[in-house]
Structure 1
Amino acid sequence: MVWSLIANLGVLAIFKYFNFFNQNITALGEAFGYQNQIPSLTILLPIGLSFHTFQAMSYTIEVYRGNEKAEQHFGIYALYVMFYPQLVAGPIERPQNILHQFHEKHYFDYDRVTDGLKLMAWGLFKKVVIADRLALMVNKVYNNPTDYEGIFLIIATVFFAFQIFCDFSGYSDIALGSAQVMGFTLMENFRRPYAAKSIKEFWGRWHISLSTWFRDYLYVPLGGNRVSTWRWYYNIFIVFLVSGLWHGASWTFIIWGALHGFYQIFGFITAAQRNQLVKHLQLRKFPVFYNTLQLVTTFSLVCFAWIFFRANSLADAWYISTHLFQNLLGSTKEFGSQLLFGRNILGQYKQEFFLAVLFIIVLERVHYLQSQQKLRLEISKFRPLYRWGLYSMYLLVFIYFGVFNSNSFIYFQF
């Protein structure tokens, strides 16, 4: 097991982290008058490296723990590690869920195939119609942050929150749908994360395969919450720091992970005081207001952390985070003027902005319907005329409103 983990982590260390650590050693050495002679590597990062190495590691660990029998067929083991639907951006599967499916015979099932195709179509819609449209405005601001302040930075940050969700969950939907078409069931990776009322709940809904991977293979081995309080906080913080580093070899990703670790720890430390405040203000007597307050607070904290995830550099992240409320009144007036009388907003025609907002509303409406019923199942019950009319309308919306500029999925870089 040890040699297997060294091999997998070694590949990650060389391809993904060598230059990052080497550059930091060089900078630190120069501060003390030391010249680092080790050159940087000029090699390409394999697509999805972090995903399939973690999947390979989960197999080794589960076999070592006795939770899964060792796979005797090399082809099937290779298929588990490199299963193409989820190869480049997850979800990160466990051997208990997927290995046995490669041994089973799969027959054609019309309902299963059409159900998978619907999920793929929804994922493609989220990527091409919503995420890539939002990217046009987000990139305009985040690639030139010092040109903006106040409300423009806030809008771009909120748009990025929905961009990365639609981009990443869109890929997951396509992966789950394509696997389902072939008869395979992959684990759910997203569960309406922006409906979370706490940061802890958010991580139970966002990138579920990765958060559970870190829980089972890092958090629990460190002691989890079965240790002293301060050691528990240490375990949480280490897990989120490693999670940030997993996402990218950059200080911006590390700070993003550290922020979420701080959110979690601060939430646990202040839990009693916050409950007392809620009780004193009798907020639970107004459930709609109280739930909305929790949801907005959580979403705001997540959005603030996204600044460091998206920013091109620490300097850009610092500028954006310190200018969110700079000249807020003046920038809001300017935004209102552009909205009413201008042609362009955030570098795009005004119609693009309104379309982006409209499609975010459509997204949340679909999420609400999905939470109330199995939407794909309900669509399959429609009469053929209505059902195919809906499919035709989707196709027209996709063709007319899709942004076809060859944007790769964000998580391909990880």
Structure 2
Amino acid sequence: MGHLNIQQFVQTLPVQAAHRIQSGEEAINIAKQLATQFAQEASLRDQNRRLPVDELNAFSQSGLWSITIPKQYGGAGVSWRTALEVIKTISAVDPSLGQLPQNHLVILEHIRLDGTEQQKKFFFDLVLNGVRFGNAFSEIGNKHVADFKTILKPVNDNANQHGFEVNGKKFFATGALLAHWVPIVTVNDGGLPHLALVPRETAGLTIINDWSSFGQRTTASGTVIIEQVKVPVEHVIPIYQAFANPTVAGPVSQIIQAALDAGIARGAIEETIQYVRQYARPWIDANQDKATDDHYTIAAIGDLKIKLRAAEAVLDLAADQIEKASQEPSDDSVAEASVLVAEAKVLTTEIAILAANKLFELAGTRSTLAEHNLDRHWRNARTHTLHDPVRWKYHLVGNYFLNEIKPPRHPWA
């Protein structure tokens, strides 16, 4: 870890334009093909903290990073059900890879909601050609997650006429190390959040590979230092507008998180089934020859599958409501989307952690050996589900139904 010459990892821009996906069916088929490929060395990447450079290039060049771009701008304009299925499919084999487009997709949504027509055409075209957005959102040591200290101030000099300068420091910068552009969340002198999008090689932008978490090890979610970074006015988007009015910005941000957790659960359950079939032994009192005939093991697998199906069903309901609220935004439609997403977040969090725990209970002591690296499922589930406290999702849902209080408007609701 530490300061790195990030040119060794990825080219400044893709040499070839990314594939253009035409339909949701094609997107899901490509995701399944890539998942088979990504699964092959997923455990080794986790063990060695090896950044998935080749895999990430294949992922974005496949066209999957542009599928939510509206059709009128050249994208596939897939439904959120489809986009989430892609995230779940990749996350089931490698949640770090599944997390890397998470903020990228949120940025695309903010461009759709808050960008000018010129900005939409410019940035959507970049992404359609294979450009990846990273993430420089969160800060540490502040009063709370939305207490941003990264400052956007106007400047007017010969080199940057009618532009801005950004100064600050970020952490949890998922994907920034391997991005082509780094979107920075910053606030103006009125405290209003804006998104300043800059090429990764911009002067004053330093990306540090210091992510040391025990889970989601290869997201390179480390530090970004922003020192007198110059940004033209055309690359600044007033994202506060998405929360000043009823929009799906918050639910979209949250539902991608929930989809990733559902993918982790899928992967952990599949790993459990395969291990039990191949290696596990029945308990002595079961009076069975195979672990797959052990009554309690069978019941436990059934319980996991039921809970996963329920979580994914609510996730689909939430995706459908986001589609509705996107087409007909109102206080009520957006509130209902936020509530359904919160319900999905509760269920996907619970099944991800439960599945990762049950893996060892059903597989037995030998499954804890380092050579299997099965603990990566628990480490990834425990790490990613900490993104925002699920205990507050219960409060959001209960407050909505008991007191008729609509959810707050911010990226965590």
Task: State the TM-score, normalizing by the size of structure 1.
Answer: 0.27
- TM-score, normalising length from structure 2? 0.27
Higher RCO (Cα < 8 Å, 6 or more apart) = 1
Larger radius of gyration: 1
Higher relative helix content: 1
